[in-house]
Amino acid sequence: MESAALAIEIQMSLLLFLALAGYLVASRINQSATIGAILVGVLVGPSVLGLITYTDFVATLAHLGAIILLFVIGFEFNIRDILDPRYGVIGLVGVVVPWIGGYATAVFFGFDFASAVFIGTALTATSIAITANVLKEIGVLQTPAAKAIIGAAVIDDVLSLLVLAVSTDLVVSGDISAVSVGVMLGKAVGFIVVAGAVGYFGIRKVIERMDATPLARKYPEFVFIFAMMVAFLYAMLADLVGLSGIIGAFLAGVAFAGVELRQSKGVHEGAEYFQIVFASIFFVSLGILADIRALTSDMVLFLLVLTLIAIVTKVLGCALPARAMGMCREDSLIIGFGMAPRGEVAMIVALIGLESGLIGQSVFVVVVLMSLLTTLITPIVYRNWFYKGAYCPVD
């Protein structure tokens, strides 16, 4: 028992040390802390030094980090910010175009039908945890482009879920079940609507009333514990309906945005301290997960081409509809690059395909490394290209 506890303490200390090293690396290369953490993860992981592996403990902490990060991000948004119909169009086109690009690329390189379908599906996903953290770091979460990215990414997650369901049906049974797709869409949309309404009109008021009670005056931390419980509850419910848990946590954060507490400790401030610790571990874990040694020489060219296709199709698939709906050129490109990271979402899709026997180990490794490379590109582009000054006219 003591040895198990000691092992956990050692792993936790090492992960936090690596997170600190990530900040030092980022400072030296003048990049986002996200980039620094991922690069350190690659260095100490199986790819280079092999000092740490992607254990269940690391995966659990990383999952917590992603949930808490999106919970904190949610505080920066109003519910109206993610309900703009334009974001639905951006999300839809941003799913269709990458799927076609991924499928066509896989077919061109000679992969079978099942692998090609899953590769295309992996390219549809968007990891808003990466982009949202970078936008938060540089203080631009309240810009129109940032709101569009978050709103479109939420819709993107629902659509990617449907694409995964359709792809699995198509590969396994050879046809598509309209009933199963309809049920899944109903559950996903229903969860977002109901969870958002209950949080905004129900739980929000409960927290305000709770803050006025003698219990909150005696125990100022009581409301904060309640809010964190709700965040993880929302994440669990999102997982149960097939969505990513981070979407549920984000909706919980949106519901609590702007809540005024007089006696209790601030929920937003308290959650940010959790986020600093666990989100750093999440980004380190992405680097650890990518095992470059498992990549065979004949798959390197496919990886490079697939990564290029993943970035180009997502940028064009999201930037063009944004531009067509009246956004300026720079904001449209910011949205496109902001939707490009595949992160842990594409990795999950690839893992489903691997465990079901529909793709091989080599394809799995390529998708994981593609996810990592697309994750790296957005912070670099944002810090060195965009947000160097005001691009679009302010209304």
Closest to 127 in 3D by CA, of 152, 147, 102: 152
The listed range with the strongest mean pLDDT (32-36, 48-52, 301-305) is 301-305
Q: How far apart are CA 378 and CA 212, in angstroms?
A: 43
Residue 228: the pLDDT is 93
What is the value of pTM for the model shown?
0.72
Question: In which band, very low, low, confident or very high, does the pLDDT at 394 lie, cut at 50, 70 and 90?
Answer: very low
Closest to 112 in 3D by CA, of 371, 347, 363, 376: 363
Question: In which band, very low, low, confident or very high, does the pLDDT at 395 lie, cut at 50, 70 and 90?
Answer: very low
The listed range with the strongest mean pLDDT (183-187, 255-259, 308-312) is 308-312
pLDDT digits (tens, 9 = 90+) for 353-370: 776 677 777 788 888 788
CA distance between the termini of the chain: 61
Cα dist. 215→34, 123, 221 in Å? 39, 49, 10
Side-chain-side CA neighbours of residue 365 (13 Å): 16
Cα dist. 198→72, 104, 230, 236 in Å? 19, 42, 11, 16
pLDDT digits (tens, 9 = 90+) for 308-322: 999 999 999 999 999
Residue 389: the pLDDT is 54
Q: What is the mean pLDDT of the chain?
A: 81
